[in-house]
Amino acid sequence: MAAAGQPVPVLVVAAVAVLCVVWWIFEPLPIPVTSLLPLAVLPLAGVLTPAEVGQAYGSPLILLLLGGFLLSRSMEASGAHRRIALGMIRLFGASSG
């Protein structure tokens, strides 16, 4: 048992979560790199196996969000977002009323 009566794995997970939040806020590393931190640290600390951590990263919701982010990035890089917006304005007009 460790501090506050919590088992060590609970404290390790809490510390990794707090570290990730702080790094997301201050960005000493890029956000995607920080997001992968638990994938490396939790198996090294013996909290979870690599397979267990990988299952959490491979959940359908995470993959859906990742796909949406990749799609939006590619639309922005190709300028498709502007073409779609201009097409909508041409189709419906510029007035909101």
pLDDT tens digits for range 49-70? 999 998 988 889 988 998 999 9
User: Quick check: 81 pLDDT over 90?
Assistant: yes
Note whether 37 and 69 are same-domain residues. no
The reported pTM is 0.62
Note whether 38 and 82 are same-domain residues. no
Q: In whole angstroms, how large is the CA radius of gyration of the chain? A: 21
Note whether 33 and 70 are same-domain residues. no
| pLDDT (mean) for 36-53 | 93
Work out how many domains the chain is built from and give that number: 2
Give the pLDDT score at 75: 95
With a CB cutoff of 8 Å and minimum separation 6, the contacts of 23 are 29, 34, 37
Residue tagged 């007009």 (tokens): 93
Note whether 13 and 37 are same-domain residues. yes
Give the pLDDT score at 32: 87
Note whether 67 and 41 are same-domain residues. no
Give the pLDDT score at 12: 94
Cβ neighbour number for residue 48 with a 10 Å cutoff: 19
Note whether 42 and 64 are same-domain residues. no
Note whether 80 and 39 are same-domain residues. no
Domain that holds residue 93: 58-97
Note whether 2 and 43 are same-domain residues. yes
